[in-house]
Structures are given as C-alpha cells and as structure tokens.
Amino acid sequence: MFRHAEQQVPMIFPSDAVVERRRSLFARMTSGKITQEEAFRQALQADPDDITATRFLAVSALATEDYPRAERYARDLMRLHPSNYEGYFLLAGALGERDSASPLANAYLQLAYERMRDDDDALERLDTDKVAKRLGVPGLMKGLSKDEALTAFIDLLKHAVGTESEDVARELEPYRLIFKLCDSWDDLMEPGVVDAILRNGEACAPLLLGILKEWGQDLLTEDDWPVVERALALLGEIGDPAALPAILEFLIRQDDDLSGPAEWAFRRMAWQDPVATLKKIREIVPQTGSAERVTLAHQIGLMPNVPGRSEVLTSLTQGIGDLHKDEQDAVAVSAIVAVMMVEGRHSPLSSTLERQFGGVLSRESRAGIRDIRRDAPDGPFVPEPPEIPIHEICCDEPESEDDEEDSPQPFVHKAPRPGRNDPCWCGSGKKYKKCHLDQDEGR
C-alpha cells in the first residue's frame, strides 16, 4: 500500500475558478489592498499546489529566519516543481542555517547547482564571487567562466560532503532519478533509470506528478512532451491509484501527444489492481463533470471483469440532473453503452438505465443505443491488458532479451529521430510531426 495515497493529488490544469481567483488577488495586491504575503497565502488556499505562491512563502520564511516553515515550503516546492533548481537551493538554505555543517544541506546545494546547468538564464545571473565567499573560497573563481565556476562549486561541495551516508543518498535518490528523466528529453531513457524509478516508486510518484503539474502550469515547453509522456507511463506502471485523477485530466483534454500515454497509464494501473482502481473512481465521481464521467465510463469498460464494475458505472449517472441537457445525454449514453460492454447486450441494468434516463436521451442517442444493442455480442466484452511494456515506451526497446527473441520482427536500434518541431529527415522542409513522425512511430 502506498503511504502517500491519502495525500491530495495536484490539480494539474488550474480550473477557471482558480485562475480568476489568482487574477483577483493580484489586482488587490497591486492596488495595495492586501500585502504580497496575504495574497500568496490566499492563493495557496485556493490551490494548495500553487507553485508561485509556494515559492514566495518559502523565500519569505527563509528571510524571516523561520527555518522550519522554510523547510516545509521548500520541500513542497521540490515536489511541485521538481525539474527546477530553486526548491533545492531553498531547502539547502533552511537546513544550512540550522546546521552549517549539515551533510544534507551541502548535498542539496550540490544538487541545486547541478540542476542549474540546464538553465542558461540562471547561470547568467549567478554571482560567482558571492557564492565563492559563501563557500569560504573568496577570489578562487577569478578568470573562470560561469560554467567553469559552477563546475568548481560542485567539486567543492562534493569534497565537503565526502562519502554520502546511506541516509543522505537514500533521501536524494528520487530527485536524482527525476533529473535523469528530465535530462532524457527527446533522447531515449536508459533501462536502468526506468528500473530504478520503479524500485523507488513510492518516493518518485509525487515527483512524477510534479512533472505533470509543471506541464499544466506552462512551466515546460512544447518540446518537453517526451518527458511528460514518460512521467505518465511511469505513474501507470507504479500503479498507485492516487495518481488516477491526474491521469484523468490528461485523458479528457484529448491532447494529440499525451492522451495516448495517459490512456496507457490508466489501463496499466487498472489492470494491476482493478479493485483499488474502482474504489478510487467511486471516490472521485462526486467531484467530476460530464467530460470526466464520459471518459471514466469508457475506461471502466476496458477494465478486467471484477465485481463492482456495473455499480461504479451506475454511480456515474448520480446527480446528472445538475448538468446541462446535452451533458446529461452524453453521460447517460456512455454509462448505458459501458454497461452493455460489461454485461452484454441483454443486460437488465442497461435496459433499466435506458428507461430511467429516457427523458434525458435525445432521439439520436436512443437510436444509437438501439443500433449498438443490436450489433453488440450476447455476452460481455472481454478486454485485454495494454500490450506495450513500459521499457518500450520509455526506452523504445523490448523489455528483455526473451521479448526480442520471441518477436516476429527483430529489434533494430534506431538512430535518434529529429525532435517533433525539427525539420523532417526527408528534406521536405516540413516539421517532423507534420511529416514522417506518424509513419516512423507506426514502423
């Protein structure tokens, strides 16, 4: 059982209400009606995973020497924005102020500088003289470039940390693994990194959710989609149902790049532990709208045949009277059709639902249900688990040598493909995603 399963899953894409609340708070702050501190506190109440508010409150707590509070906010920031260096700097500061010789503080500071390598703007702003004084080596960086100075800082910190204790190494391992995921970008992940993330699934799952959060908050670029794709797949393979609401957010957006990986993650999770997945779906149904319920109905129909599927499908229709007329129609049709998938076309429950929501269904929907019932098999639809293994998604290779030997087509290592927005290899001048990407993926 995952100990973090009861934690709130980040809201990946902020709702309209949250966006409007942020605008209102910003307007009140700029007009002087409330302080910055109060504005960000209220923003965090509207969205407990607001990255900007969490960052501000961490900095504020560190400045006022409230180190326990600074540590708490810094750790939250590392969870919500794991690919960025700022949370690691703030945590190192909070720990170091309480114990200047703290091996953990120095280890996190080293981690922050290593992460800064990938941020050209941050590297440009780096005050090497100030950092050198802080590390007790004033003047040592004279004549060095920013990148050379950063390498020297990291070497100094490695020397200060020495041989890491098992406790320090264990605490930092999930973050280091997430860095390797982020650094893979458009290249292939090493199978060993995938295996290590899965071994540390309980600790890595909140950080993988943070990657999704960064995407939802526009803190990643369009070119970062391979990292998000792998984060979705890894969450599905880890199998903690607490991540299901986040995966569902990607499913309903029907993104060309990410809805497929999201569906794989949902199905992989559902096939690993269908009972726990159904339980989680039942928990979240009251907070879902029509788009989520339509999507859930489809996904439940693809789950293994375990007790409780029909009951959860029926729960999707609860409270649909509060929805708009067309949304009521969509939810009712999805539930009725999914029940037929689960129980067969002669399902008494599907007939009961059809009678119950007869006034909701449009003429076209009633005709469509009749057509589906006529063509559906007598018995229940027998779904199959997702076939593509996690290593093929993340590493583009078979999971093991046995898989390779059994495959009718021998695995051939492919040369690195262009990025989605790079010119296509064929010389057409079109972007790769508009030209040969689909054909290459099919091959």
Q: Domain holding 24: CATH number?
A: 1.25.40.10
Q: How far apart are CA 288 and CA 291, in angstroms?
A: 8
pTM above 0.85, yes or no: no
* Largest pairwise CA distance in the chain: 83
What is the distance of C-alpha 230 from the center of its chain?
A: 9
Residue 175: how many other CB atoms lie within 10 Å: 20
Residue 431 is predicted with a pLDDT of 52
Residue 125 is predicted with a pLDDT of 76
φ, ψ dihedrals at 289, nearest 5°: -100, -170
pLDDT over 70 at 441, yes or no: no
Q: Is residue 149 part of a domain?
A: yes
Which of 193, 211, 244 delimits the end of a domain?
193
Q: How far apart are CA 265 and CA 362, in angstroms?
A: 33
Using alpha carbons, select from 337, 348, 344 the residue that is nearest to residue 313. 337
Give the confidence band of 295 by pLDDT, cuts at 50, 70, 90. Answer: very high
Q: Is residue 94 part of a domain?
A: yes
Greatest mean pLDDT range, 94-108, 194-208, 374-388: 194-208
- Domain interval for residue 433: 417-443
Strands (E), 214-277: none
Q: Is residue 254 part of a domain?
A: no
- Which pairs from 413-422 meet CB under 8 Å and 24+ separation? 416/186, 416/187, 416/188, 417/186, 419/186, 419/223, 420/186, 420/222, 420/223, 420/225, 420/257, 421/222, 421/223
Q: Is residue 407 part of a domain?
A: no
Contact 237, 268 (CB under 8 A): yes
The answer to which of 77-91, 118-132, 270-284 has the lowest mean pLDDT is 118-132
Q: Is residue 301 part of a domain?
A: no
pLDDT over 90 at 404, yes or no: no
**Alpha carbon distances (Å) from 130 to 64, 65, 135:** 21, 20, 9
Q: Is residue 300 part of a domain?
A: no
Which of 193, 226, 247 delimits the end of a domain?
193
Number of domains making up the chain: 2
Contact 149, 128 (CB under 8 A): yes
423 DSSP assignment:
B
Using alpha carbons, select from 241, 299, 295 the residue that is nearest to residue 273. 241
Which of 161, 177, 193 delimits the end of a domain?
193
- Which pairs from 289-295 meet CB under 8 Å and 24+ separation? 289/323, 289/327, 290/320, 290/323, 290/324, 290/327, 290/328, 290/330, 290/331, 291/252, 292/248, 292/252, 293/320, 293/331, 293/334, 293/335, 294/330, 294/331, 294/334, 295/248, 295/251, 295/252
Q: Is residue 129 part of a domain?
A: yes
The pLDDT tens digits of the residues spanning 143-175 come to: 677 777 777 777 877 776 677 889 999 999 999
Q: How far apart are CA 36 and CA 70, in angstroms?
A: 17
> Phi-psi category of 136—alpha, beta or left, where left has phi over 0 and alpha has psi -120 to 50?
left
Please count the CA atoms within 13 angstroms of the CA of 306 that sit on its side-chain side: 15
pLDDT over 70 at 12, yes or no: yes
- Type of residue numbered 426: C
Q: For residues 282-286, give the mean pLDDT.
A: 92
Please report which residue ranges of 10-85 form alpha helices under DSSP H: 16-30, 36-46, 51-63, 67-80
Q: What percent of the chain has pLDDT over 90?
A: 44
Q: Is 231 or 320 the better-scoring residue by pLDDT?
A: 231
Q: Is residue 246 part of a domain?
A: no
Q: For residues 326-343, give the mean pLDDT.
A: 88
Q: Is 386 or 55 the better-scoring residue by pLDDT?
A: 55
The pLDDT tens digits of the residues spanning 296-316 come to: 999 998 999 888 888 999 999
The residue assigned the tokens 């928990």 is 283
Q: For residues 73-100, give the mean pLDDT.
A: 94
The pLDDT tens digits of the residues spanning 409-426 come to: 433 333 445 655 555 555
